[in-house]
Amino acid sequence: MAIQSGIGQLMDDLGAALQAPGEILMLGGGNPAHIAEVQRHFRESMIALLDSGNRFERALGDYDPPEGNTEFIQAVAGLLREQLGWAIGPRNIALTNGSQSAFFVLFNLFAGECEQGGKKVLFPLTPEYIGYCDVGLTPGLFTARKPRIEHIDEHTFKYHIDFDRLDVADDIGAICVSRPTNPSGNVLTNEELERLGAAAETNGVPLIVDNAYGLPFPHIVFADAEPLWNENTIVCMSLSKLGLPGTRTGIVIAREEVIEMVARVNAVMSLAPGGIGATLAAELVRSGQILHISREVIGPFYQAKASKALAQFHRHLEGIPYYIHQPEGAFFLWLWLPELPITSQQLYERLKARNVIVVSGHHFFPGLGEPWTHRDECLRVSYAQSDDVVARGVRIIAEEVKRAYSAG
């Protein structure tokens, strides 16, 4: 964990961009946009918190229990039960210091060295989230399967789970997917998710769904989809992509014995999760307003930005071979440059020299043991920044890509 990693480089770039004296076009990190209407709701929540007796002082001055803030957990359980019909209560929910911490806990609970021998986490669809790569306490914690690639049109493609190659061997301890998928913006269909769930249950392992961008909040989903949960599914959510990444509030929804384990690990690692984000968002959740904000403001905001960024790439990349994954959610475009003469890491370095930060695609293939040139032909580009920053960044990306192809 102490050596440089893809997620470490990403966060270093993000921090450096905030501190740099000149302008950095930050198209690399997962920082959400500062949406004025959403921030207004958070500001109003903070004012209400400050004006409500000693709730602010308690949020800052008292430890929560290891499973997290009780008021917020009750509100989330009520929302999911009433709005989605999930058969859950407060004992099915624990909070963590961000969803990154949740995956560290869950992956090492269900995989690694154990009495039955070494267990692995299976990623049935790769590429997958960069933050998974380095959280294992033992080497070889992950295994992944290459996707089936559908070419939708001349410049659009989509990944699909290749169920014909999806063998859940005896050494699998858990199956994990992100939905929407980070980095590609792919949204697994309900049928795909149900098939994964059935495969997991048949093999006696949990299905872990990373729902950081998903439903019902923050609702950064542009495709037809429904949120799914059962007692063999672990759904991980977050307040970050709503616009509260600084509060580090992750949400784990699972059967009670899993939640008890997560709470015990919380106590060992950090005594208790931080409570300010949960306290700030509790009333938004309890009132259901968080659903309105997500559906009516956050989702449409990012969908409009996706359309603009996509049009800019199509305009500036004209004349060279390229594909962009069909954007179905999250706030990234996944650019595939077939037979790119340089690696995506070298392209990242060239762009960084021009003050444009993206993320090299090779970081997003945890557990894929077999060689695949596709890994070195892709970039993840965020369109969460201002339209002007995204437009200038896309133009520079296109210039460097064309230079790489012309130098061949």
* pLDDT greater than 80 at residue 210: yes
Phi, psi (5° rounding) for residue 307? Answer: -65, -40
**In the chain, what are the domains?**
6-33+292-402 (3.90.1150.10), 40-287 (3.40.640.10)
Phi, psi (5° rounding) for residue 336? Answer: -110, 125
Q: What is the mean pLDDT of residues 86-109?
A: 97
pLDDT for residue 214:
97
- Rounded to an integer, what distance in angstroms lies between the CA atom of residue 266 and that of residue 175? 22
Q: Which two tokens stand for residue 120?
A: 């692995």
Max avg pLDDT among 12-26, 102-116, 307-321:
307-321
pLDDT for residue 286:
97
pLDDT for residue 12:
73
Element (H, E) at 207: strand 207-210
Residue 356: C-alpha distances to residues 29, 44, 136, 279, 282 (Å): 11, 35, 31, 36, 37
Please compute Rg for the chain using Cα positions. Answer: 21
Q: Which two tokens stand for residue 169?
A: 């061997």
Mean pLDDT, the chain, as a whole number? 94
pLDDT for residue 407:
86
Q: Which two tokens stand for residue 177?
A: 């997917």
* pLDDT greater than 80 at residue 4: no
- Rounded to an integer, what distance in angstroms lies between the CA atom of residue 166 and that of residue 125? 9
Establish how many alpha carbons lie within 13 A of residue 208's alpha carbon, considering only the half-sphere containing its beta carbon: 27
DSSP 8-state code for residue 339 = T
pTM confidence score:
0.94
* pLDDT greater than 70 at residue 392: yes
- Rounded to an integer, what distance in angstroms lies between the CA atom of residue 24 and that of residue 18? 8
Residue 395: C-alpha distances to residues 264, 314, 333, 389 (Å): 49, 11, 14, 10
* pLDDT greater than 80 at residue 13: no
Model pLDDT for residues 117-131, shown as the tens digit of each residue: 789 999 999 999 999
Q: What is the mean pLDDT of residues 175-203?
A: 97
* pLDDT greater than 90 at residue 212: yes
Element (H, E) at 274: none
